[in-house]
Amino acid sequence: MRYRQATQLLFELSHPGCRGVQLPACDVPERPLAEILPPGSTASAPPPLPELTEPELVRHFVNLSTQNMSVDTHFYPLGSCTMKYNPKRNERLAGLPGLADLHPYQPEGTLQGLLEILHAVQEMLAEIAGLPGVSLQPAAGAHGELTALLVAAAYFRDLGQNRTTVIIPDAAHGTNPASAAMAGFTAVEVKTCAKGLVDVKDLAGKLDARTAVFMITNPNTLGLFDGQIARIAGMVHDAGGLVYLDGANMNAILGIARPGDFGADMMHFNPHKTFSGPHGGGGPGAGPVAVGAALAPYLPAPIVVQEQGGFRLDYDRPKSIGRVRGFFGNTGVLVRTYCYLRTLGPEGLRRVAENAVLNANYLLSRLKHFLPAPYGDRCTHEFVVSASRLKADRGVTAMDLAKRLLDYGFHAPTVYFPLIVREALMIEPTETESKATLDAFARALFRITEEPADMLHEAPHTLRISRPDEVQAARKAVLRWKEG
Amino acid sequence: MGELELTAHVGDLAGRNLPAGQAACFLGGGAYDHFIPAVVDFVAARSEFYTAYTPYQPEASQGTLQAIFEYQTLITQLTGMDVSNASLYDGASAAAEAVHMAMHATRRPGRVVAAASVHPEYRQVLATYLANLQTELVTLPTPQGTIDPDGLAGAVNDQTACVLVQHPNFFGCLEEVQALGEIAHRAGALLVVSVDPISLGLLKRPGDYGADIVVAEGQPLGIPMSFGGPYLGILACREQLVRRMPGRLVGQTGDRRGKRCWVLTLQTREQHIRREKATSNVCTNQGLLALRAAVYLAAMGPHGMRSVAKLCLQKAHYAMDRLTAQGGWKPAFDRPVFKEFVLRAADGQVDRRLERAREQGVFAGVPLGRWYPELADCLLVAVTEKRTKAQIDRLAETLK
């Protein structure tokens, strides 16, 4: 529906005396508050929240929702985010009371079905990774990175080795260096060569006795599988370091290559990307990590183990780094992962990767004629094209193209990333899009490149708002509504 | 597996668990069986919200952005703090992020004090986060169930970045937060408080007793228990600390025609811009859970929040009185409590009684021996607004 209600804030819609929820009267004998609570501990008035009725709330949030582009409403080729379709069966199953209405401290005897699911997810992820030890505890990809780096730190501490650096390619996601810093390491950058792969010479010069971990995203953020990986892993291992695989791009190699087989010692998965967990407007995700046998004792506890008579949570892991979050993990996301993996099976998973790669290569073949791909015309699950020629010729930027795509009913690709490509547009179509959608996207993007520059600078033209003033937003930050 | 087979298979596995709704659930310890209004599930099931991602393109994401801006505002109203971020993973990791933030803000990376009455898993997470840094984590004992202010005064010094307390604490007891804040501030340290958001319907807000950073597990705000996640890490702070905050922030601005709109802002704090110099590595957060909390808080409103808090308080006290009146159990601590309390079994037998209660369909409480060997004969009992008098009476019967 094109015409919507105005977009007032909840606080502007508030009317004193309204409420959305009515609670029952207290059915136990009440004691005076002054008798139970110490003086000065209570607030004189309830928190100043807005007051709305249920119909007002529903209309407000439903109208807000229509101002989003989403996978269910639009093609969403946001590179590196794997915006594939989220099967509805998984939503329904994850919401079953027998899975969603479980307290984290319930006795294990009342959780056997859930523990069986979580155990199976551990086993399946170990198989996909080619690495035997799995922890499901981390809450997101970056959290998995931090977890694995802390595992590495504990491992080297045990070996009596003082290793302080983490080497990271310049094309990596920002979370890699940020995780390294949080884990107490110094991040060292390694260059990307002209072919878009790790510059092995540069790497060789940076590996030394201080190297703890080399982090690599493979396929990388340019959408290229780095075929040097076995050699690189050998170099890192020779220097006494560990290889970490950032699993953000696992969609390209599911069932085709296993990180453990090409030299990785540790990795994380992004179930909200690879295994179709919805992205939730920013989350929740999950960030399970898989590690080699020597590192497994250091994983966070608990881990689900199978014993005679059933499944239980194993807390007795003396070398464990401890916990990285409370309770077990983002269980609801992991249940969706289980549903996805069981739906597809080994053959189906491989077909996911094949079709993701096929879709990306098809789209690249349609775009490269008018938007150059600086790192070649073959890719894995995603690719990066550059608008730098358009910018030089007509002043049209990657941002202009992205904004104009919104007018055509397509979510924009990731722009200006990776940082090593000028005017980058990073495009990941995923396997769940049809050829017709890819063709329509390619046609739209071509038409846009022919449109007048002035018009493109002002895009989008058909959405409720035009481009926001982001400089003003940061300079004079307004981070909450205030009365008056 | 096709959809029909999968549905049958997962339905069968789900059937092998005992959901809290089929028992009388008195389990707490950071996750609670609170009532979730239908409107929360309804809004969170809008796929325009749940199948979108981080709002990098503001023109195509005003729904998510405005909802997060509203969430940030609601959290500041609830806590009395100046600023809230857009969410972190959960209460435990939010506490670790807050400590990390305090270490940088005070430029005192050397020492952190946490009370033993803070959730043991939160302290474990903090210890893990600090393990490879040169930070001394001092645990302040709380043998009486709460922090002794004099003990705290002896534990903080001019190297201490912050004091981490929980209020109501892990044992359900109220801490003397005002006094603790003054002690921390006298030493130049920050006061980081982990709260139960439901308690703020009744208790004084952290912003009104001098907290510098507030964290919370947002699960009680309309989020299913889901065996521990996905949950919601709440983090709010004073204005002066905003540029040290981890995670996303949504700000208000105008578009080219001057129309009010919302964008991700102050991104130079974040990993995708600042890389190794970022305030945190967090990227994917718990956006959909923040939406749930926003809908919950707006649906409850001030009076609903006060009602929930009062119901929890009254029912918890009724349960405590009922259980201690019949002998067999004694309060472990002589301190005021909110919705949870610790009981000590007179004969030391906790497990046997828990087992018997479970056979009668009652999840009676969380045994504490796993974390506190000295409390191996103790049980942590939580009572929410959902528990009826009949269920509490049944609890008392089964725990005799």
CA distance A114 to chain B (A): 7
- Let me know if B330 is exposed, middle or buried by CB neighbors in 10 A (0-12, 13-18, 19+): middle
Q: What are the angstrom distances between the C-alpha of B58 and each of A477, A480, B54, B193?
A: 16, 17, 10, 33
CB contact residues (below 8 A), chain B span 357-376, against chain A: 358, 363, 366, 370
Chain B residue at shortest CA distance from A316: B370
**8 Å CB contact of B19 and A98:** yes
Nearest 5°: CA angle at B92, between B86 and B93? 55
Cα B329 off chain centre by? 28
Nearest Cα neighbor of B355 from B346, B345, B365 is B365
Rounded distance between C-alpha atoms, residue A334 and residue A104, angstroms: 15
A477–B242 CB contact, under 8 Å: yes
- Would you kindly state where each structural domain of chain B is located, as residue ranges? 19-36+301-398, 41-295
Tens-place pLDDT, residues B181-202: 999 999 999 999 999 999 999 9
Q: What tokens appear for A310 in the block?
A: 């059933």
Does residue B70 belong to the interface with chain A, where contact is any CB pair within 8 Å? yes
Window 135-154 of B, Cβ < 8 Å to A: none
Query: What is the edge-to-edge ordering of all strands in the sheet holding A186-190?
Result: A133-135, A289-291, A266-268, A242-246, A211-217, A165-169, A186-190
Residue B198 vs residues B169, B205, B380: alpha-carbon distances, Å: 13, 11, 18
Cis before B220? omega within 30: no
The predicted structure's pLDDT at residue A484: 75
Q: Phi and psi dihedrals of A11, rounded to 5?
A: -70, -25
Minimum-distance CB partner of B254 among A114, A329, A472: A472
Instruction: Determine if the peptide bond prior to B55 is cis (ω within 30°).
Output: no
Tell me if residue A380 falls in helix, strand or coil. coil
Q: Are A401 and A448 in contact (CB under 8 A)?
A: yes
Token pair of A97 as six digits: 């009371």
Q: What is the pLDDT of residue A102?
A: 98
Instruction: Say if residues B380 and B345 touch (Cβ distance below 8 Å).
Output: no
Nearest CB neighbour to B50, from listed A104, A281, A321: A281
B352 in contact with A, Cβ within 8 Å: no
Q: How many CB atoms are located within 10 Å of the residue B268 CB?
A: 12
Query: Which candidate in B167, B227, B239 is best for mutational testing of the A interface (most A CBs within 10 A)?
Result: B227
Chain A residue with CA closest to B78: the answer is A47
On chain B, the residues whose CB falls within 8 A of the CB of A278 are: 47, 50-51, 288
What residues of chain A lie within 8 A of the CB of B210, using their CB? none
> Is A65 within 8 Å of B63 (Cβ atoms)?
yes
Which residues 197-236 of A are in CB contact (within 8 Å) with B?
none
A7, amino acid identity: T
Instruction: Give the distance from residue A36's alpha carbon to the nearest chain B alpha carbon, in angstroms.
Output: 7
For an interface test with A, give the residue of B32, B57, B166, B300 to mutate (most A CBs within 10 A): B57
pLDDT at residue A349, rounded to an integer: 98
Rg (CA), chain A: 25
Residue A135 has, within 13 A of its CA and on its CB side, a CA count of 38
Cβ density class B301-321: b for 16+ within 10 Å, e for less? bbbbbbbbbbbbbbbbbbbbe
- Report helix angle A435-449 to A331-367, nearest 10: 60
Q: Provide, as residue numbers in chain B, all residues whose Cβ is less than 8 Å from the Cβ of A51.
A: 301-303
Report long-range pairs for A237-241 (Cβ below 8 Å, ≥24 apart): A237/A263, A239/A207, A239/A208, A239/A209, A239/A211, A240/A161, A240/A163, A240/A209, A240/A211, A241/A163, A241/A167, A241/A207, A241/A211, A241/A212, A241/A213, A241/A214
Q: Residue B263 — very low, low, confident or very high, per pLDDT cuts 50/70/90?
A: very high
- Residue A70 to residue B284, Cβ atoms within 8 A: no
pLDDT band at B35 (very low <50, low <70, confident <90, very high): very high
* Closest of B92, B24, B14 to residue B389, by C-alpha: B24
Q: Convert A435-444 to b/e letters by CB count within 10 Å (16 or more is b).
A: eebbeebbeb
Chain A residue numbers with beta carbons less than 8 Å from the beta carbon of B84 are 479-480
Q: Which residues of B touch A416 (CB under 8 A)?
A: none
B260–chain A nearest CA distance, Å: 8
Within a 10 A sphere around the Cβ of A141, how many other Cβ atoms?
Answer: 28
Q: Would the CB atoms of A473 and B93 count as touching at under 8 Å?
A: no
pLDDT of residue A6: 63
Q: What are phi and psi of B234, to 5 degrees?
A: -95, 135
Question: Per-residue confidence of chain A (484 residues) as pLDDT tens digits?
Answer: 555 666 799 999 999 999 899 999 999 999 999 999 999 999 999 999 999 999 999 999 999 999 999 999 999 999 999 999 999 999 999 999 999 999 999 999 999 999 999 999 999 999 999 999 999 999 999 999 999 999 999 999 999 999 999 999 999 999 999 999 999 999 999 999 999 999 999 999 999 999 999 999 999 999 999 999 999 999 999 999 999 999 999 999 999 999 999 999 999 999 999 999 999 999 999 999 999 999 999 999 999 999 998 999 999 999 999 999 999 999 999 999 999 999 999 999 999 999 999 999 999 999 999 999 999 889 999 999 999 999 999 999 999 999 999 999 999 999 999 989 999 999 999 999 999 999 999 999 999 999 999 999 999 999 999 999 999 999 999 999 998 7
- Are A470 and B265 an interchain contact pair (Cβ–Cβ within 8 Å)? yes
What is the Cα–Cα distance from A180 to A164, expressed in whole angstroms?
Answer: 10
For chain B, what is the HEC assignment? CCHHHHHHHHHHHHCCECCHHHCEECCCCCCCCCCCCHHHHHHHCCHHHHCCCCCCCHHHEHHHHHHHHHHHHHHHHHHCCCEECCCECCHHHHHHHHHHHHHHHCCCCCEEEEECCCCHHHHHHHHHHHCCCCCEEEEECCCCCCCCHHHHHHHCCCCEEEEEEEECCCCCECCCHHHHHHHHHHCCCEEEEEECHHHHHCECCHHHCCCCEEEEECCCCCCCCHHHCCCCEEEEECHHHHHHCCCCCEEEEEECCCCEEEEECCHHHCHHHHHHHCCCCCCCCCHHHHHHHHHHHHHHHHHHHHHHHHHHHHHHHHHHHHHHHCCCEEECCCCCECCEEEEEECCCCCHHHHHHHHHCCEECCEECCCCCHHHCCEEEEECCCCCCHHHHHHHHHHCC
- Which residues, at least 6 apart from A10, have a Cβ–Cβ distance to it below 8 Å? A50, A52, A57, A60, B70, B73, B74, B294, B298
Judged by a CB distance cut-off of 8 A, whether residue A86 touches chain B is: yes
Query: Smallest Cβ distance to A102: which of B54, B225, B275?
Result: B225
Q: In chain A, what are the domains?
A: 10-61 (no CATH), 90-344 (3.40.640.10), 353-471 (3.90.1150.10)
d(CA A11, CA A4): 19
Q: pLDDT band at residue B400, thresholds of 50, 70 and 90?
A: confident
Q: Are B290 and A2 in contact (CB under 8 A)?
A: no
State the Cα torsion B196-B198-B204-B209 to the nearest 10°.
30
Residue B26: closest CA among A36, A99, A100, A105: A105
Determine the residue among A53, A103, A461 to mutate to test chain B binding: the one whose Cβ has the most chain B Cβ atoms within 10 Å: A103
Contact assignment for A326 to B228 by CB distance below 8 Å: yes
Q: What is the CA radius of gyration of chain B?
A: 22
Q: What is the distance, to the nearest Å, from the Cα of residue A308 to the centroid of all Cα atoms in its chain?
A: 36
Q: Which structure tokens are listed for B397?
A: 């019967």
Going by C-alpha positions, the residue among B301, B395, B382, B399 that lies closest to residue B338 is B382
DSSP bridge partners of A78: A427
Q: In 3D, which of B156, B112, B106 has the Cα closest to residue B134?
A: B112
Question: Which residues lie across from A314 on neighbouring strands?
Answer: A303
Whether A338 has its CB under 8 Å from any CB of chain B: the answer is yes
Residue type, B220: P
Q: For residue A36, what are the contacts with CB-CB under 8 A and spacing of at least 6?
A: B313, B317, B336
For residue B352, list chain A residues with Cβ-Cβ distance below 8 A. Answer: none
- Of A352 and B276, the one with more pLDDT: A352
For residues A437 and B153, what is the distance between their CA atoms, to the nearest angstrom?
A: 66
User: Are B151 and B140 in contact, with CB atoms under 8 Å apart?
Assistant: yes
Q: Report, at the CATH architecture level, how domain B41-295 is classified.
A: 3-Layer(aba) Sandwich (3.40)
Instruction: Judge whether A85 and A71 are in contact, CB under 8 Å.
Output: yes
Of B21, B248, B287, which has the smallest distance from its Cβ to A280's Cβ? B287
- Closest CA–CA distance from residue A155 to any residue of chain B (Å): 11
pLDDT of residue A3: 57
Q: For chain B, give the mean pLDDT.
A: 97
- Alpha carbon of B369: minimum distance to chain A alpha carbons (Å): 13
Whether residues A10 and B277 touch (CB distance < 8 A) is answered with no
Q: Which CATH class is domain B19-36+301-398?
A: alpha beta
pTM recorded for the entire structure: 0.98
Q: Mutating which of A4, A8, A31, A49 best tests the B interface, going by the most B Cβ atoms within 10 A?
A: A49
Q: Give start and end residues of each alpha helix (H) in A216-281.
A: 229-238, 271-274
- C-beta separation of B26 from B365 below 8 A: yes
